Amino acid sequence: MPRNEYQSQLTELREDVVAMSETVAERLEMGLTALETGDEELAREVINGDDEINQLYLDLEQQCTDLIALQQPVAGDLRFIAASFKIITDLERIADLATNLGAYAETADNDVFPSVNIQEIGETTLTMLDSAIVAYAEEDRELCYTVNDRDDDLDEECEIASGTVVRELIEGEKLGEEEIEPFMQDVSRLLLTIRDLERVGDHAVNIAARALYMIDNNDELIY
């Protein structure tokens, strides 16, 4: 294969990974909106859209496999393809977590703890994901470290939110027997939402870590 065609395929892979990330970010934002508004139709759209993400993942996996098998890349090109493969895996898992949000939005009955700002936590995760993909697309090593550092802030936000739920649960008014089960189901969904958003942040850090490895052959952030 001529060199220019090979380089075109590498460029196409990068563009396709970025496009997948945009779709995943859109689904995550839709899941957060469904949670905030109680829009069951939007929640169902997020859930039903998971098959599309899975197909994008499989298509990109094949692109990576073909490039390695047919071109036998070395050095920087090999790191780029390997990083891209790892990144699409994290993107697919973020999409799964967005699907979880859709499921929570479908079944939640009420906003049991309005003092817990899920949307603010969600905005942090969306910013981290966007920054991680920009770091990959533009080979921005400093942005890789920024995403990694931002994860500490997200972990703190999630810890505070979970602590608020537990504290208000203990200090709240006693409920009647018929109210306890649905209330506890809503509490469980809220805690799972916080956990899943924290995991989105972890995947964003993984993406940034792979981008740094791709850029500088530096595995400092990989863990």
Give tens-digit pLDDT for 8-22. 999 999 999 999 999
pLDDT over 70 at 2, yes or no: no
Write out the residue range of the structural domain in which residue 196 sits: 3-216
Q: Which region among 9-13, 33-37, 54-58, 178-182 has the lowest average model confidence (pLDDT)?
A: 178-182
Over residues 135-146, mean pLDDT: 97
Over residues 56-70, mean pLDDT: 95
CATH of the domain at 195: 1.20.58.220
On whether residue 87 sits in a domain, the answer given is: yes
SS3 string, the chain, reads CCHHHHHHHHHHHHHHHHHHHHHHHHHHHHHHHHHHHCCHHHHHHHHHCHHHHHHHHHHHHHHHHHHHHHHCCCHHHHHHHHHHHHHHHHHHHHHHHHHHHHHHHHHCCCCCCCCCCHHHHHHHHHHHHHHHHHHHHHCCHHHHHHHHHHHHHHHHHHHHHHHHHHHHHHHCCCCCHHHHHHHHHHHHHHHHHHHHHHHHHHHHHHHHHHHHHHHHCCCCCCC
For the whole model, what pTM was predicted?
0.93
On whether residue 223 sits in a domain, the answer given is: no
Residues 144-190: tens digit of each pLDDT: 999 999 999 999 999 999 999 988 887 766 666 667 777 788 888 99
On whether residue 222 sits in a domain, the answer given is: no
On whether residue 175 sits in a domain, the answer given is: yes
On whether residue 83 sits in a domain, the answer given is: yes
On whether residue 145 sits in a domain, the answer given is: yes
State the total domains in the chain: 1
On whether residue 221 sits in a domain, the answer given is: no
On whether residue 93 sits in a domain, the answer given is: yes
Model confidence band, residue 48 (pLDDT cutoffs 50, 70, 90): very high
